[in-house]
Amino acid sequence: MISIGLIGLGAMGAGMAKNLAKAGFLAGVYNRTACKAQSLADELGVVAFDTPSALAATCDVIFMCVSRDEDVLEMVTAVAQTVKSGAVVVDMSTVSSSTAQQAAAILAEKQAQFLDAPVSGGVEGAKKGTLAMMVGGSNEALEKIRPILAAIAARILHMGPVGSGQATKAVNQIMAAGINQAVTEALAFGKAQGLPMKKVIEVVSGGAAGNWFLEHRGPTMMQNTFAPGFKLALHHKDLEICRKMAENADISIPLAEMTLLNYAQLMEQGFGDEDISALYRLKMPHKLS
């Protein structure tokens, strides 16, 4: 039987670990903060490994879900020390395409395969197993583990070679930034008109301007509640990656640039750990705030 491990138990990783365990797939977990790993391992009846290398030594499929490019490379380097030949490492973090390519090169030296497989759908999607997953790397490796991925994600698409999962995620993050701008601008306008905003959200959701963010974050935004969800500082980090990719491709992304400025301002004011919908803080009508 295939043995499966997961590295990184943040809000997203923990949700995915639970769904993998529920489907009977999970052997063990690793987390930098050990107590978090131990407590989740106890809950799920799996092993809490002391190091990424210990996890890699026994697992055939290794999932990773961390935050930053340097974390991915650090974990992949540790995994590569003990990784089995033929193992598949699936990184679900959001990082740059070039980091994905570096990770793949490190693992290729040990005859292990790498898939960049970032996800979208928020903490809700991670909990419910309804994430959308965009995969770069060998199609053969993807097909081998697709039944396992189905425990985590409702849509799994192969986008091309290593790095193209991350490039697709960048499209997603740029679009999410623009939609955040669109929804906060329009709801602030509605609030200024004195409209019943709960009904506004309901009716607009049903039309051509309907979107996931409005339905899921509109109601909390209107209560001035900004619990994550998706942390603003993380989206800021993702958009910095997107900015570099856009510069390299000689294409302008003005809404994403505007969002970077707005997020930086909010982070300075201490709102970096709030949901990205806290962008509304900068837009709410002054008369009413």
Q: Is 287 a catalytic residue?
A: no
Closest approach of Cβ 171 to a second copy, in Å?
A: 4
- b/e string for 6-29 if b means 16 or more Cβ within 10 A? bbbbbbbbbbbbbbbbeeebbbbb
Among 13, 122, 129, 228, binds a second copy (CB under 8 A): 122
Nearer to a second copy, 195 or 227 (CB): 195
Catalytic residue among 18, 169, 231, 283: 169
DSSP code for 286:
T
Interaction residues for a second copy, span 249-278 (CB under 8 A): 249-251, 253-256, 258
160 belongs to the binding site for a second copy (CB under 8 A): yes
279 belongs to the binding site for a second copy (CB under 8 A): no
Among 90, 159, 232, 241, binds a second copy (CB under 8 A): 159
Closest approach of Cβ 22 to a second copy, in Å?
A: 21
212 belongs to the binding site for a second copy (CB under 8 A): yes
| Alpha carbons 273 and 15: distance in angstroms, whole number | 19
Closest approach of Cβ 261 to a second copy, in Å?
A: 12
Is-contact 279 177, C-beta < 8 A? no
| Alpha carbons 240 and 74: distance in angstroms, whole number | 20
Closest approach of Cβ 160 to a second copy, in Å?
A: 7
Q: Which of 285, 233, 281, 282 is nearest to 260 (CA)?
A: 233
Radius of gyration of the chain from Cα atoms?
A: 20
Among 89, 100, 104, 188, binds a second copy (CB under 8 A): 188
| Helical segments of 47-162, H only | 52-58, 69-80, 97-108, 122-128, 139-149
181 belongs to the binding site for a second copy (CB under 8 A): yes
Among 94, 99, 102, 164, binds a second copy (CB under 8 A): 164
- What is the distance, to the nearest Å, from the Cα of residue 153 to the centroid of all Cα atoms in its chain? 12
Helix (H, G, I), strand (E, B) or coil at 252: coil
Closest approach of Cβ 218 to a second copy, in Å?
A: 10
Q: Which residues are catalytic?
A: 169
